[in-house]
């Protein structure tokens, strides 16, 4: 039982089922076409009413509080809504940091929702999406969660209903990859708008479910797998172990496999567990995201 007035929210990770880079932009960012998919690997964030600001985190080596996306989200919302930034927040990390799983971005957007509830604010989700875009390219997606196509920097969203079936085996190799550095090593001309997101799915047996097909591409793999050849081996090992799709998530370092059969996913996870941190996850549709909250 949480103390009076307190509540906990789950903050799910994501994988990129596909990530195409269309080109470098004048503002230094890259134009993307990607498909985000939430998975049920979650951090937990507890919110309590308080007369001052207090933030505590454990479970990961997170760096200074002022850089934490929970703190930055709280400040941004308090300034936007013109309310004092008073709350007690406790972040319990499970999602590895620097792994391309969007943990910090998810924490930021869940903090928006948590503080709207704690401070009794009725802010439209479109406004939260705009505030989130100032914190990071992946943050707007986590305002909605589930599955969505992201264009622009990743902040222009097209939300997908329904959910994908299949089991995700996400493998964290024990080190992180610097996203800025990975993007800066991309060898793309200014814009090349003819690439389309490659992502094929077909209707599953249950209504509203989809099954992922092969053909998933992550353009950052060219760079990241060259620098870290063991990630290529890991990706290929997931395929050998029966994954229908295996791919780097975002800029990595996490590599994931999607398995149609959960028994094959469990066998693959068992094989990899001796050497890596392995998570067996389900994909979270927008419907289910609401239940996590
Ligand atoms: O937006 P975010 O802070 O998550 O991005 C981290 C870094 O990744 C940016 O500073 C930028 O170098 C790179 N990036 C990019 N194009 C994007 C998203 C991120 O070049 N669409």
Gap from CA of 286 to ligand 1 centroid (Å)? 25
- Verify that 39 and 151 share a domain, yes or no: yes
The closest residue, in CA terms, to atom 6 on ligand 1 is 180
Domain membership flag for residue 289: no
- Verify that 157 and 189 share a domain, yes or no: no
- Verify that 156 and 181 share a domain, yes or no: no
Q: Which of 43, 138, 219, 244 is catalytic?
A: 138
Residue 11: which CATH number?
Answer: 3.30.230.10
- Verify that 96 and 186 share a domain, yes or no: no
Domain membership flag for residue 290: no
Domain membership flag for residue 205: yes
Range of the domain at 227: 163-282
Dihedral sign for Cα 201, 293, 138, 253, please: negative
This prediction's pTM: 0.92
Binding site membership of 100 for ligand 1 (Cβ less than 6 Å): no
- Verify that 173 and 81 share a domain, yes or no: no
End-to-end CA distance of the chain: 16
Q: State which of 130, 161, 192 marks the end of a domain.
A: 161
Domain membership flag for residue 156: yes
Domain membership flag for residue 173: yes
Domain membership flag for residue 87: yes
- Verify that 157 and 198 share a domain, yes or no: no
Q: Partners of 168 in the beta sheet?
A: 258, 281
pLDDT at 161 (0 to 100): 82
Domain membership flag for residue 293: no
Residue 169: which CATH number?
Answer: 3.30.70.890
- Verify that 82 and 215 share a domain, yes or no: no
- Verify that 213 and 125 share a domain, yes or no: no
The torsion angle over the Cα atoms of residues 49, 51, 57 and 58, rounded to 10 degrees, is -80
Binding site membership of 251 for ligand 1 (Cβ less than 6 Å): no
Ligand 1 atom closest to 179 (CA): 8
- Verify that 25 and 148 share a domain, yes or no: yes
Q: State which of 112, 127, 161 marks the end of a domain.
A: 161
Ligand 1 atom closest to 105 (CA): 4
Q: Looking at the chain, which runs of residues are DSSP E strands?
A: 7-24, 30-48, 53-58, 87-92, 147-152, 156-160, 163-165, 167-172, 201-203, 209-212, 245-248, 255-259, 277-284
Taking CA 191 as the corner, what is the angle to CA 140 and CA 19, rounded to the nearest 5 degrees? 45
To the query of whether residue 93 is one of the catalytic residues in this protein, the response is: no
Gap from CA of 219 to ligand 1 centroid (Å)? 14
Instruction: Report mean pLDDT in 10-residue bins for the chain, 293 residues.
Output: 83 94 89 92 97 92 82 98 98 95 97 97 97 97 94 94 87 95 76 54 57 74 93 97 94 94 96 97 81 62
Gap from CA of 179 to ligand 1 centroid (Å)? 7
- Verify that 58 and 147 share a domain, yes or no: yes
Q: State which of 138, 161, 184 marks the end of a domain.
A: 161
Gap from CA of 27 to ligand 1 centroid (Å)? 10
Domain membership flag for residue 292: no
- Verify that 60 and 137 share a domain, yes or no: yes
For the chain, what is the domain count? Answer: 2
- Verify that 207 and 96 share a domain, yes or no: no
Strands 87-92 and 53-58: parallel
């Amino acid at each position: 039982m949480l103390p009076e007035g307190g509540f906990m929210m789950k903050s799910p990770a994501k994988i990129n089922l596909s990530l195409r880079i269309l080109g470098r932009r004048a503002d230094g960012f890259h134009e993307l076409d990607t498909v985000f998919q939430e998975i049920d690997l979650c951090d937990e964030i507890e919110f309590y009413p308080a007369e001052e600001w207090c933030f505590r985190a454990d479970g990961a080596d997170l760096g200074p509080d002022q850089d934490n996306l929970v703190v930055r989200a709280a400040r941004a919302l308090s300034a936007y809504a013109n309310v004092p930034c008073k709350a007690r927040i406790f972040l319990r990390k499970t999602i590895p940091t620097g792994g391309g799983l969007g943990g910090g971005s998810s924490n930021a957007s869940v903090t928006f929702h948590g503080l709207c509830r704690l401070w009794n604010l009725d802010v439209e989700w479109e406004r939260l999406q705009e505030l989130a875009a100032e914190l990071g390219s992946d943050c707007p997606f986590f305002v909605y969660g589930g599955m969505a196509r992201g264009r622009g920097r990743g902040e222009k969203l097209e939300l997908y209903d329904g959910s994908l079936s299949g089991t995700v085996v996400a493998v964290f190799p024990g080190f992180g990859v610097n996203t800025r550095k990975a993007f800066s090593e991309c060898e793309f001309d200014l814009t090349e708008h003819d690439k389309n997101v490659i992502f094929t799915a077909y209707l599953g047996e249950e209504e509203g479910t989809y099954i992922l097909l092969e053909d998933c591409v992550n353009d950052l793999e060219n760079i990241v797998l060259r620098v870290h050849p063991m990630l290529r081996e890991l990706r290929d090992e997931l395929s050998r172990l029966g994954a229908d799709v295996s791919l780097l998530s975002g800029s990595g370092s996490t590599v994931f496999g999607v398995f149609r059969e959960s028994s094959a996913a469990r066998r693959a996870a068992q094989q990899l567990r001796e050497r890596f941190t392995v998570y067996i996850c389900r994909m979270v549709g927008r419907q289910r995201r609401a239940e996590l909250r």
